[in-house]
């Protein structure tokens, strides 16, 4: 099974100080042996991870430090990470996307589906996504 992690799920999983790190780690452990699944990122989720952590005064990271942290997370000896190339244009945006705030989520849900992955998030409002803590 492949799981495309949303920016918020990736941050929670990769940052020990994140308020939802424990929930993300518990969810990851519930998936079974690490060889039976893989986590995925894409350009949007990786750039979002770096942007959010570099903008947040809570973590105090620079862009280079956030990038280095993400590279370490992706090199985990425990969890396998793969990169999904983003080959979707606007024609793939799902019909449920009605507001500007939904565009990236809709895009990522469709990208995950196209690459046999499940989109994983901490956001309860994304149709077709797996909410951490419910699986």
Q: Confidence band (pLDDT; 50, 70, 90) for 15?
A: very high
User: Which CATH number belongs to the domain containing residue 68 in this structure?
Assistant: 3.40.50.1010
Domain that holds residue 99: 2-131
pTM: 0.92
Contact 1, 111 (CB under 8 A): no
- Structural domains counted in the chain: 1
Edge-to-edge strand order for the sheet containing 38-41? Answer: 81-83, 38-41, 2-5, 117-121, 130-131
- Distance, in Å, from the CA atom of 45 to the CA atom of 18, rounded to the nearest integer, reads 17
Confidence at residue 135, expressed as pLDDT on a 0 to 100 scale: 46
Overall average pLDDT of the 103-113 stretch: 96
Residue range 63-86, pLDDT digits in tens: 999 999 999 999 998 899 999 999
């Amino acid at each position: 099974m492949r799981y495309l992690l949303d920016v918020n799920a990736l941050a929670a999983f990769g940052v020990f100080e994140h308020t939802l790190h424990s929930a993300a780690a518990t969810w990851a452990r519930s998936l079974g042996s690490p060889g039976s699944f893989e986590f995925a990122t894409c350009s949007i989720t990786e750039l979002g991870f770096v942007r959010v952590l570099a903008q947040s005064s809570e973590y105090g990271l620079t862009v280079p430090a956030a990038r280095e942290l993400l590279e370490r997370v992706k090199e985990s000896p425990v969890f396998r990470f793969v990169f999904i190339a983003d080959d979707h244009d606007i024609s793939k945006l799902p019909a449920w996307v009605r507001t500007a705030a939904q565009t990236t989520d809709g895009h990522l849900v469709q990208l995950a589906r196209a690459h046999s992955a499940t989109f994983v998030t901490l956001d309860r409002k994304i149709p077709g996504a797996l909410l951490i803590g419910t699986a």
